[in-house]
Amino acid sequence: MEVILKEDVSKLGSRGDVVKVAEGYGRNFLLPKKLAIEATPANRAVIEQMKAAAVRRQAREKGDAENLSKQLAGVELSFTRKSGEHDQLFGSVTSADIARELEHKGFSIDRRKIQLDEPLKAIGDFSVSIKLHKDVVVAVKVTIQKEAGAEKATVPETEEAGTEA
């Protein structure tokens, strides 16, 4: 089955491409989610208009992303978490936490654009990449600090547990 992509689809193609896909993938995924349209002769004529509009839209989105990256360049995020031995966190700092903190600072960034291979699980300074556009990536400094009094709070609990037993 041949389809014309209306949006960029990873590992398949970009907006406006005519690609061959399996019948089920096209009929059950791409078409219902409006990611593609069937490649009929009439739709092939529309493809040129879509490509021109896509180029204009992509240029505008890239410009917006570059402006946002300039604003984000100096942003530093700070988190305070409980930690155990060897500065390992009891929980972790995830992309959702980073997105929420950016929201508090006035930036509306989708958590899926924050590129964290795995959650941050240690105390220290980290550089986290945010992919605002396929050509625009900005790094944000994330600092994770030890919660004050975390060690003092855990010591009495272990002593109390030992005396009760």
Sequence spans of domains, the chain: 2-62, 71-149
Q: What is the pLDDT of residues 98-133, one digit of tens each?
A: 999 999 988 888 888 999 888 898 899 999 999 988
- Quote the pLDDT of residue 158: 46
CATH classification for the domain delimited by 71-149, as one of 3.10.430.100, 3.90.650.10, 3.20.20.70, 3.40.50.150: 3.10.430.100
The answer to whether the beta carbons of residues 79 and 142 sit under 8 Å apart is yes
pTM value is 0.62
- Residue 145 in tokens: 């600090």
The answer to whether the beta carbons of residues 144 and 89 sit under 8 Å apart is yes
Tell me which H or E stretch contains 98: helix 95-104
- The architecture CATH gives domain 2-62: 3-Layer(aba) Sandwich (3.40)
Tell me the pLDDT band of 150, cut-offs 50, 70 and 90. Answer: very low
Given the structure tokens 């997105």, which residue do they identify?
A: 99
Of the candidates 117, 124, 118, 119, the residue with the CA atom closest to the CA atom of residue 86: 124
